[in-house]
Structure 1
Amino acid sequence: MSVVVLLLACGAGGIAVVAAPKVDYYRPKYRVPPSLESVLRHLEPGHDAFPEEKTAEELAERLGRLSALLRAGPTHTAEVADLLAPDFRGGRLTPSDEVSLGNNPQLEIYRARTMASDAVLDRNAFGKELSALVGGIDSVRVAELLITGIEVEAGADPLVRTSVRFDLAGPSGGGRAERIGRWQMRWRRGADGAWRVVEWNALEHLRSRAPAPIFDEVTQTAFARNDSFRRQLVPGLDYWAANLDAVFAPRGMGHHGVSVGDFDGDGLDDIYVSQPEGLPNRLFRNKGDGTFEDVTEAAGVGVLDRTSAVLFADVDNDGDQDLILLTRSGPLLFVNDGKGHFTRDPDAFQFKKPLQGSLTSAAMADYDRDGFVDLYLCTYGYFIGVSEDKAGPPAPYHDAHNGSPKVLLRNDGHGRFVDVTEEVGLDQNNDGFSFAATWADYDEDGWPDLLVANDFGRKNLYHNDGLVDGKIRFRDVAAGAGVEDYGAGMSASFVDYDNDGHLDIYTGNMWTAAGQRVTAEPGFMPDASPDIHQIYRRHVRGNSLFRNRGDGTFEDATLTAHAEFGRWAWSSDAIDFDNDGWEDLYVVNGMFTRDPGEESVDVDSFFWRQVVANSPLVRKPGTLYDDGWRATNRLLVSNGAQAQHERNVLLRNDGRGGFEEVSGTAGLDLDQDGRAFAVFDYDGDGDPDLVLMAPRSSPQLRIFRNDFAGGNSALAVRLMGTKSNRDAVGARVTVKTDQLRRTKLVQIGSGFLSQHSKELLFGLGKSSGTAEATIVWPSGLTQTVSGLPLNHRVWIEEGKGAVRTEPFRDRSAPSVGVDATTATGPAVPASRGTWLYEPFPAPDFTLKDLAGQERSLSGLAGHPVVLLFWATSAPASRTALEELARGRSALAAAGAPILTLAVDPLADEAKVRAAVQGLTVPVAIAGEEVAGTYAILSRYLFDRREDLRLPTLLLLNGQGEIEKVYREGIAAARIAEDVAKIDAPAAERLARAVPFAGTFLFRPAERNYFQYGLDLSEQGFDGPALGVFERAAKRDPSAITFYNLGTLYMKRGQPIVAKGAFERALEMKPDYADASNSLGALLAQSGDVPGAIERFRAALQSRPDFPDALNNLGFALFQTGQADEAYPLYEKALKLQPGFPEALNNLGIFYGRRGDLETAQRYFQQAVDGRAGYGEAGNNLALVLAARGDAPGAVTVLQRLLQEEPAFEMTYVTLARIYLKAGQRREGIQVLERLLQRNPKNPIGLELLRQAQAAG
């Protein structure tokens, strides 16, 4: 909400992506599910406990105007005056006194010592101050203004004070420049409703400039010769989510990483890219000339199973790099034959228990020092159905302990990795939502320790105690070491940032403007303790940097070092980009950014207001917190955006214990949903280059060559173990020169989903002469090698004095512009359509076509069917209709009849007829129910969850199941050919459902119909929903499936079958509170109130704070005359769920029965206000209004209710009765006729109509 839109330009060597053509959709008006109403009603700020957020949203719009003016250029700064109040006063935005921060002529950085606090400038003079602020930037390309704090001041004319973080960047000469800092702005709303600035002061200011590019994007040069890169990796995952069968779920969270390693032993690091299900992982071989070639197929690693990350490791110490893949089904080992070809070892991993959650990251080290690298696996939440007692959202948000267990696998040296988690003590505190892990001997006792970053809570620091009673043992010492670090842990790394020889800790968490605002506002957890508030403030602070004191403990240096800023940080790790000898920090970030021009809903503020703020202090299922998570996830899988347009962050180490952001100046402030990066020397010139992975962006994979010309020395070190593991993983290398001393570590796995090169790149600043390297090998051997030439690559073997050296290559010339359009083009020809791996059942329907003939899918059973959805408003529809008319004979010869359904309103039949005039294809108007049903079906055909594109053509088999989907370039000839291919063996079906060749090592998961059925049910399409749940029950006979079946049977008036379904659910899960509650409601409807009371009490025994069960029990007791016992149950339900419409309605009934119609009216009104279309409450409100003599008011309520919920039949009855009682016989009869058009058998309606007609 508070993120201002910003513009970025690609580098000269970047990949240009052609904008997608305009797409037409059928967008029905979706209902809000009743269970989420109380949460989603607050999607827009201003009506919950955080009124400041509505103001923040309005002020963000004003800052958006300021951003646009800054980007428009200096000629527009005068227009800023419109944003300023007449009595405006502003301070200086640029400092008069600055400190230089270790400047190099190629990178100048200045921080303000102090900022003038006097507001001496009026609105006319302030435009010049803004011009001075952006002076030195040729054109402002980035103008990001974030509201991080807001406060409404007291007084008769209250002003609003905001804290604003600004970031301005753009080209400067031949390089780039950036301005970063913080403003305090005070605002007043004017008489015209517009907010204007009353006072504006600068609190912080940092400026940087590079006269030449620091990093040059060479993605085009590196990959453009690979057809696989252009077709697969230039499109982002949103493209694939819209074009691959949803059974593969290709989009997900975009958690797919990148790793580098030398798989063919030629001395050059190659690149392995992880991909989602249905797309092959890719292995790119470094050719040494700045380009890479795709060798995936030749190497045998084109795995189509969903892969989050991969590790290069010599697991058998034979001198070549093997691969460990983290897939949906578990880790996979691919053994290198030494010739660049891999073979999977199916028996490599021996688990004591099956994995219980999805794999995220992994890291390797020789924890027991036996000479073989071992593997630690991070997992996140539980697989569905694995642990019902812990499944669900992380709770409490600030310190969740319902994550799935992580696993340590010991390499036994014979090709097997054996689960030793419990026997080494790593089962302690093993219940976090773990994103990342990394190994290092932080206390220098010779044994590698383990750091684990957990989302929603505390980190683990497992100290390796070495041999204890003959066994290796670990202890979680995070608390005692001072690194519990509450936060959204997403990345973990060890880095010696202060060059004292001790390994410090840098973790990726979350810096969020919305979170910083909301957690500081009065409405945030008002009953929580100060300690809890402090933890939540820590959760939004950002990344953490802990300085190793050298005594086994750490001090939090984050704020003093200015190291907290990282946004929504994924991989966060070290890179000494300027080779000055001090490790800098780089962070890739962002979550869900929608495509340009795509409608989206920003959920940042909503998430903190309605999810985090409702978190219980201890885990408690079935709360508003759970509903908030479901609502957020529902938004994100459709059109929600979260942490969008977050740019990557580069923090430069000043060598004095602090960091400054130079992201924009360095050209690494990429606007993408980044996840991972790997550091390696791409061009062999001795400085660190970057390969980045941002699967949700386009292109997914990018390479940036380091072109910084700072004139600094460097040394590259490659190690080979003999007694230690061959990769020397865990070796600590200290390089000493005449200027400095640096320490680095050989690692496998660091940051998040990332693996850097095992070659250690030491920037050595202005060092001269030679260097000395001291290696502490994992075996315990300490080896010192002197006389190493600077600006060379050196190879050191464990225990041998002789080393091999090689000078760095000459620095590459900067790239010249490349015709990036060569990298564009469709990934897959659109006219090919998408074959579904698993046919999708098409809901049956019966409609009359324009000629009056009845058409149904069931009537065409036994034949393939061509079903087209179109609209007169979608121009491509006419083309599709004409194509089908031309190809009708060919399709008939193939045995496939055509049926076309227009989704236009029934009232637009004349338009539909005009649109198909002269075309010989059968046409029917779908109507709201059929069109709505297929719109929801469309959202589940593909993981993109789009509404129904127009036109969309579905090819059905003879069983009424969708086999193939066409949405662009519909060609009748191709469809006719495809009809003959419908029947195919399983292997062929799988091969044609994916766009590229590859291998599934495990069968893809079966299609999950549960959420699809739930969506149909929530939208009122109970008939199709029932069929879906019946299918789901056969495939997955779970308690929740039978519960939903029971609910649908109950709604459709089948109480006996519904009762059986609820009882089946309770057999499978006796403490299933929802099933007990619904069974109780069913029994109450059938007249068994004592039985209902028993079930409601059972539900409350399982879940004492269950608002629905409390409300239902109260009403059942009320029915049996126990009103006094009912009332406190209603009150408790409302306390647990404020605004609970059903409880408000029942309180209205309570007071109505007591004759207190005024109080009853108030409660019924609150229930109606809380839920649009709440038929029962609206009807009750109308009855009370009529009873109190306000018949016109009652009519107004009922007429509105008919618009909002035309299916509630008692509304028609009550409205008709009011009209008839008032003598308005004609109006009453019209209402009854409308009712009987919907339900010709409604007995009350038939009787009232008979009486009214007889009276006439």
Structure 2
Amino acid sequence: MSQSPVEPASNNQASSYRQGWAALNQMLHEGKSFSGHERNCAFLNLGGHSFADVSGLVGLNFDEDGRTVVSTDWDFDGDLDLWTTARTAPRLRFLKNNSSEEKKNFLSVRLVGNGVESNRDAVGAIVELYLENVKPPLIRTVTAGDAFISQNSQWLTFHFSPEQKIRNLTVYWPAGQKQVVDELITKSFYKIHQGKAAEMWIPPIRRIDMKSGLSKPSASSEHSRTVLIGRLPMVPIQTKGEYSESELPKQSLKGPLLLNVWAPWCKPCVKELSLWTQSEEILRSAGLRILALNADTSAIDSAQRLLRRLRFPFQSAHALQRTVRSLDWFQRSFLDHWAPLPIPSSFLIDRQGDVAVIYKGPVSPEQVLKDMKLLDMSMSERREAAIPFAGKWLKPPRLPNPLLVNGQFVAHDAISEGITYLRRYLESSEDRGGKSSDHLSKIAHTIGTLLSKSDNPSLAKSYLVKALHFTPDQIDLRIELANLLLSYPSLNHIEEAIAVLKPDPKVQVTDPASRRLLSWAFFLWGESFQSSHQYQKAEQAFRQSIQLHPSQLKAAEKLAWLFVTQNPEQDQRKSNALAIAERLCAITQHKNGDYLDLLAFIQASHGQFEQAIRSMEEAQVLRADAPDSKAFKEGKNWMDHFKKHLIPDLRFESD
């Protein structure tokens, strides 16, 4: 089982964890069993010595992915029945306990707290049932949510042999009060209110007669009709011609058009093509075009012979394997159950080039003609037509989400194809209009993010800028764009990043993440100025970096070096440099060799050579495991240099 991280993980560990969840979600969508159809188990406690496997004996050894078990006396006959749920079908089962009446003896109680000292449900109460000549007592506890996404009945049921009699019952209420109840009758139900006498309770008469039966899984079918309430454009259709491969023009995929995926070896496909051929006149008069896509490019010759034999009157083409694959991923994005695209399958496309209906398996001309009425309906009208019953809706229809289509491409490592689909969707949406700025921003943002990971920073930048144009107040988007600009820093890119994070120089940036990134941008800006010998501008940039994020220690280090190397004759600058260096070493607890080097150099500039030598010695200790390193050798040279400036000890003696 995948373990949730309990501490910061490396990128590889986090990636592995995310991949585990992705694999789990894929199993969910594909309807697979988590347990490999391992049967459920039930064990009988043999008096504290061991357990016996009674799974098959009691009828609990089902092979579904079990989730919850709830025990309750559903029919109020004194024994506990079970309700079970599963992730796979059948989702719900009722298991009636048919124990022999002659061998049954029980007492069932329901506690009610007073709502002052104890909660009304008496959660936490402990009940002890004492039987005559029997030790120890039978014990039950009132719980809330005592199992995985389930809770047993709050009736506490005690079972004992028919010859045994009840002595009394003791309740320990959650607040600590003890209540003893006497004169209880077996095979009865009692309600016990806190501090009051027990009241016998008469169960209601069940009016529902549940009939037992074997669960039979429904037969799977590859025939389905899915009306898309929110429509999306068809994926690119790439075909194989006699001499080359090509993509069908977008204009040719605008409907009314029925795009059919078939193969010459598929008998239902041949029958379907024959029906359409026979219905040519009525289909054409309705304005419907048909494009028959052969999905098997290894059988092009036989496909062409078959179409000639049928005298198929509509357009045909031979789809590349990646086109068939894209059509499969496209249809999966609309459904929670990801089943492979069967052959034949068809897609009814509207006048905008958007898919309106997906047919899995053969579809009759009559059904297609009937569904053509959906093409010009609004989303609300389509939603009403898509369901088999009338009703009221709480929310407006959900907008189509092309990111789900892209998600299928990304999940199958076809990222470039996903990017192409989103770019075309965004382009057509801008041309058509009618989409919200937030929606278009998400699309452009996703394209930019994917492009930035595929080593196309220039194009990625253009889409992130476009996303920011749609939603200029989105802070996360500004941060991502700035990060992209800073990932290949030049002076122009750094200035752009600063402008992205701080669009109005007069307005203070308050978002913590933006301030940290802006601080880093100013640090990089300062380094650029420093490398071009623009020391005053560099100093200003480092100061701004520290003001935005006081923990930006690298900027403080750079600023201290500027203080001590530029205009060092000014005492205040030297004093500021020393204060910064001492602060850096204190923050890092004298464990950073670079900061100790800085402190030693500044101390030497103040004439404090003994202190400088001690600071350098601390730095050298940190580098002792790498005596051949450049830093270690330079540190030794500086120590020798500092020692030359020491005034030798002079000893004075009297004559």
**Alignment equivalent of 1:691, drawn from 79, 83, 86:** 83
Q: What are the superposed Cα offsets for residues 1179-1231 of structure 1, whole Å, 9 maximum, x if unpaired?
A: xxxxxxxxxxxxxxxxxxxxxxxxxxxxxxxxxxxxxxxxxxxxxxxxxxxxx
Unaligned runs of 5+ in 1: 1-392, 401-617, 1096-1101, 1103-1256
Cα distance change, pair 808–1012 in 1 and its aligned pair in 2 (3 A): closer
8 Å contact kept, 1:891–1:975: no
- Cα separation, 1, equivalents of 2:332 and 2:394: 28
8 Å contact 1:771–1:789 — kept in the other structure?
no
Gaps of 5+ in 2: 430-434, 469-473, 498-512, 514-655
Q: 2:256 aligns with which of 838, 860, 864?
A: 864
Q: Corresponding residue for 2:647?
A: none
Looking at structure 2, the residues matched to 800 and 682 of structure 1 have their Cα atoms a distance apart, in angstroms, of 27
Higher relative contact order (CA 8 A, sep 6+): 1
Q: TM-score, normalised by structure 1?
A: 0.33
- Residue 898 of structure 1: CA displacement? 1.6
SS of residue paired to 2:65: coil
Q: Does 1:704 align with 2:106?
A: no
Query: Does structure 2 conserve the Cα–Cα contact (< 8 Å) formed by 1:894 and 1:980?
Result: no
Residue 35 of structure 2, aligned match among 643, 652, 677: 643
What is the aligned counterpart of 2:445 among 1038, 1042, 1067? 1042
Q: Aligned pair in 2 of structure 1 residues 999, 1039: CA closer, same or farther (>3 Å)?
A: closer
Which residue in 2 is equivalent to 1:182? Answer: none
Between stretches 1071-1080 and 658-667, larger displacement belongs to: 1071-1080
Q: Following TM superposition, by how much is the alpha carbon of 1:622 offset from its aligned partner in structure 2, in angstroms?
A: 2.7
CA contact (8 A) 2:444 2:466 kept: no
- How far off its partner does 1:680 sit? 1.4
CA gap of 1:1037–1:840, structure 2 versus 1, over 3 A, is closer
Aligned residue for 2:225?
833
What is the one-letter code of the residue matched to 2:341?
L
Change (3 A) 1:987 1:787: farther
C-alpha displacement at 1:658, in angstroms? 5.8
1:104-142 C-alpha deviation (Å, 9 max, x unpaired): xxxxxxxxxxxxxxxxxxxxxxxxxxxxxxxxxxxxxxx
1:791 is the counterpart of 2:187? yes
- CA gap 1:629/1:927 in 2 versus in 1, 3 angstroms: same
The equivalent residue for 2:337 is 944
Alignment of structure 1 residues 303-322 onto 2, 5 Å = none
Question: Structure 2: which amino acid aligns with 1:1058?
Answer: A
Name the CA shift for 1:399/1:1026 in 2 (closer, same or farther; >3 Å).
closer
Tell whether the 8 Å contact from 1:868 to 1:900 is kept in structure 2 after alignment: yes
Is residue 125–residue 142 contact of structure 2 (8 Å, CA) maintained in 1?
yes
From 299, 324, 328, the counterpart of 1:908: 299
TM value normalised by structure 2: 0.60
Question: 2:169 is matched with which residue?
Answer: 773
**Which residue of structure 1 lines up, in the alignment, with residue 155 of structure 2?**
759
CA distance 1:806–1:1090, change in 2 (3 Å): closer
Equivalence for 2:561: none
* Secondary structure of the corresponding residue to residue 637 of structure 1: helix
Shift of 1:877: 1.8
In structure 2, the CA distance between the partners of 1:953 and 1:1040, relative to structure 1 (3 Å rule), is closer
Deviations 1:698-729 (A, max 9, x none): 21111212234593522222345565766555
Question: In the alignment, which of 1059, 1079, 1082 is matched to residue 461 of structure 2?
Answer: 1059
2:107 alignment partner in structure 1: 715
Aligned to 1:213: none
Partner of 2:200: 804
Letter in structure 2 aligned against 1:903: A
Q: Give the whole-Å Cα distance in 1 for the aligned partners of 2:388 and 2:175.
A: 47
Shift of residue 770, structure 1, vs aligned partner: 2.7
| 1:896 corresponds to | 288
What is the identity, as a one-letter code, of the residue corresponding to 2:305?
A
Which letter does structure 1 place at the counterpart of 2:158? F
Q: How far apart are residue 947 of structure 1 and its match? A: 3.1
Larger strand share, 1 or 2 = 1
Question: Partner residue of 2:523?
Answer: none
Q: CA RMSD in A?
A: 4.9
1:1226-1245 matches, cutoff 5 A: none
Residue 911 of structure 1: CA displacement? 1.6
Shift of 1:1043: 5.6
For residue 845 of structure 1, report the CA deviation from its aligned partner: 3.9
Please show how residues 21-36 of structure 1 align to structure 2 within 5 Å.
none
Tell me whether 1:737 sits opposite 2:128 in the alignment: no
| CA distance in 1: counterparts of 2:228 and 2:173, whole angstroms | 53
Matched to 1:1059, the amino acid is K
Q: Deviations over 1:1048-1104 (max 9, x none)?
A: 499798x754332356789844896898469746x8xxxx79969x99xxxxxx9xx
Match of 2:62 among 670, 678, 700: 670
Question: Which among 233, 255, 279 is matched to residue 887 of structure 1?
Answer: 279
Are residues 1069 and 720 of structure 1, via their aligned partners in 2, closer, same or farther at CA, if it must alter by over 3 Å?
A: closer
Distance in 2 (CA, whole Å) between partners of 1:802 and 1:1058 is 74
Task: Give distance in 2, aligned partners of 1:832 and 1:815.
Answer: 32
CA distance in 1, matches of 2:301, 2:74: 65
Partner Cα separation in structure 1 for residue 291 and residue 275 of structure 2: 13
Letter of the aligned partner of 1:649 in structure 2?
C
Would the aligned equivalents of 1:1062 and 1:1078 in 2 still touch at CA under 8 Å?
Answer: no
Equivalent pairs: percent with the same residue?
Answer: 25
CA–CA separation in structure 2 for the residues paired with 1:1034 and 1:873: 48
After superposition, where does 1:373-392 map in structure 2 within 5 Å?
Answer: none
Structure 1 residues 782 and 987: alpha-carbon distance in aligned structure 2, compared to 1, 3 A threshold:
farther
Q: Is the 8 A contact 2:256 2:289 kept in 1?
A: yes
CA distance in 2, matches of 1:758, 1:836: 45
What residue is the counterpart of 1:572 in the other structure? none
Contact 1:933–1:1024, Cα closer than 8 Å, also in 2? no
1: CA distance between counterparts of 2:66 and 2:397?
27
Identify the residue that residue 926 of structure 1 maps to in structure 2. Answer: 319
Q: 1:1080 to 1:995 in 2, by over 3 A?
A: farther
1:233-312 equivalences under 5 Å are none
User: Following TM superposition, by how much is the alpha carbon of 1:967 offset from its aligned partner in structure 2, in angstroms?
Assistant: 1.0
- Which residue identity is paired with 2:96? R
Is 1:885–1:920's contact at 8 Å kept on the other side of the alignment? yes
Larger radius of gyration: 2
Q: C-alpha separation between the residues in 2 aligned to 1:660 and 1:1016? A: 50
Cα distance in 2, alignment partners of residues 674 and 1057 from structure 1: 49
State how far apart, in whole Å, the 1-side matches of 2:290 and 2:259 are. 6
Residues in 1 aligned to 2:363 and 2:185: alpha-carbon distance in whole angstroms:
65
Structure 2 contact 422–447 (Cα < 8 Å) conserved? no
On the 8 A contact 1:1047/1:1078 being kept in 2, the answer is no
Name the amino acid aligned to 2:137.
Answer: R
Corresponding residue for residue 1023 of structure 1:
420
Number of the residue aligned with 2:642: none
Corresponding position of 1:623: 12
Deviation sequence 1:28-82 (CA, Å, 0-9, x none) = xxxxxxxxxxxxxxxxxxxxxxxxxxxxxxxxxxxxxxxxxxxxxxxxxxxxxxx
C-alpha contact 2:190 2:198 (8 A) present in aligned 1? no
Which amino acid in 1 is paired with 2:181?
V
Counterpart AA for 2:338: R
CA distance in 2, matches of 1:629, 1:860: 37
- Counterpart of 1:755 in 2: which secondary structure? coil
Tell me how far 1:643 sits from its aligned partner.
Answer: 3.5
Which residue matches 2:145? Answer: 749
C-alpha distance in structure 2 between counterparts of 1:1042 and 1:814, whole Å: 55
CA distance in 2, matches of 1:808, 1:1014: 53
Instruction: Tell me how many residue pairs correspond in the alignment.
Output: 475
